[in-house]
Structure 1
Amino acid sequence: MPYDVSQLLKMTSAQLDDCFKSGAPGPIPNGEAKGTAIVAPGTVFTKETAAFISIFTWQGKTFDAQAGVLRNRISVFGISAIVAKVYQGASWFDNKECVVLDYSETSMVAHWVRDEIRLISPGLYLGLVYWKKDRLIHFALEF
């Protein structure tokens, strides 16, 4: 079943986890992706929180698949910052293949952050954010 971001914003955390589990590792993406943070999933606050974050904090990621890196687009100005290494690897969530976005060697600010993404629909990745080994939130990337 193909998904879109509006559907993801209506899901509970458990439903998002199931969606991530059933996703494919997909190729390492290339180019600019619109990001949507999915905070407080399954509540009335999810959609409004995502909109606020998109405007003021984080707009998405720009991938360079050939170089194996990405840069986040942050702030109201969409500044390209906070670099991560990108590679295929085992997910901390279920030990299955995913695309890992690893900040441990590239960012002083996000040194303890690791993201994992899987392709859930054409052009749409669902992601998990970890702080150290603790899972924080889900997010979507639309290409």
Structure 2
Amino acid sequence: MKETAPSTAVDRLLHTPGPELDALFRRSPSGRIPVGDGAGTVIFAPNSPVATTAARLVRLLAWQGKVFGPGTGSLRNKMGPLGTEAVPARVYYGTSRLDAGPAIILDYSRSALVARRIRDEIREVAPGVFLGIAYWNRHKVLRFVLEFARAK
């Protein structure tokens, strides 16, 4: 995998405090369900000295993003150093656990034994850029960004 620096939008989100990320999520629309390959960045310890390094390590070793099937209501995560498509999820509009507003739900409860307790929610915070919140059971465990290439 070719290592690239985060885009300006992703870098800005990595260096935004957690409460501000939640406020951004609250005021953002769900947007359209994305299609295609979204580059993923984990936001671990936002606005800390380790945020960028942690994001790079996770992308290099564990998780590179998500691939959304067009019109299928499903996705697969890109896992490991090779970006192997695995860990499927159902995709649909639903109610956010953060604020009870509309969000795009990435539901692993019936499609992935290894991730059945995980539920992600995403909203579009900029064109082609989705801020996500991952829940384990009902507990918020981390945030992430999905960035989709814009058609030129």
- For the aligned residue pairs, the C-alpha RMSD in angstroms reads 0.8
Pair 1:37 & 2:42 matched: yes
1:9 to 14, 20, 43: 14
Once the two structures are TM-superposed, the CA of residue 77 in structure 1 deviates from its matched residue by 1.1
Question: What percentage of residue pairs aligned between the two structures are identical?
Answer: 38
TM-score w.r.t. structure 2 length?
0.91
Once the two structures are TM-superposed, the CA of residue 65 in structure 1 deviates from its matched residue by 3.7
Aligned residues: 141
8 Å contact 1:28–1:65 — kept in the other structure? no
Query: Structure 2, unaligned stretches of length 5 or more?
Result: 1-7
TM-score w.r.t. structure 1 length?
0.97
Pair 1:114 & 2:116 matched: no
Counterpart of 1:127 in structure 2 is 132
Query: Structure 1, unaligned stretches of length 5 or more?
Result: none
| Secondary structure at the counterpart of residue 75 of structure 2 | strand
Aligned equivalents of 1:32 and 1:109: distance in 2?
22
Once the two structures are TM-superposed, the CA of residue 23 in structure 1 deviates from its matched residue by 1.0
Counterpart of 2:63 in structure 1 is 58
Please identify runs of 4+ aligned residues in structure 1 that moved more than 3 A. Answer: none
Between 1 and 2, higher relative CO (CA 8 Å, sep ≥ 6) is seen in: 1
Counterpart of 2:102 in structure 1 is 97
Pair 1:139 & 2:113 matched: no
Once the two structures are TM-superposed, the CA of residue 64 in structure 1 deviates from its matched residue by 1.1
Pair 1:79 & 2:84 matched: yes
